[in-house]
Amino acid sequence: MDLYEQNYILIRRLLGDLRRLQVGDEFGLGFQVSARVTERGRFTLELVFTDHEILDSLNRPVILQVRIYLDARSAELHDPRHPAACLQADRTECNRARQSRNRMLQRWLLARLRRH
């Protein structure tokens, strides 16, 4: 099974039926993590997960922007800087970075599901 499909399944396990979600919907996941729907298209959904348990280098909660493709039943960690940077960089390196981000998302989702 593809990494992106696995991430989709893990998010469904956390939030239930993703097709019912609308912009502005928010969820507290009971373990210092919240999820908010920020965008909704016919075939896509964007969520922002805020994890108050994990802090970045400036002691701010970690924020993960996830794009879900409802028609393809896949999900990926979205990096808004990624497309523009990839146009000027080596595609192989961009693909490696994308895979790495999505493996990290998978590990994070699995850890959250264990605590849910």
Q: And the tokens for 45?
A: 């959904």
The pTM for the full model equals: 0.86
What is the residue-wise DSSP string for 46-114?
EEEEEEEEEE-TTS-EEEEEEEEETTTTEEEE--TTHHHHHHHS-HHHHHHHHHHHHHHHHHHHHHHHH
Which tens digits make up the pLDDT trace of 35-48?
999 999 999 999 99
Reported as type and span, the H/E element at residue 35 is strand 33-40
**Considering its fold, how many domains does the chain have in total?**
1
Give the mean pLDDT of the chain. Answer: 87
Count of alpha carbons within 13 Å of 23, Cβ hemisphere only? 6
Domain that holds residue 70: 3-115
Which tens digits make up the pLDDT trace of 64-74?
999 999 999 99
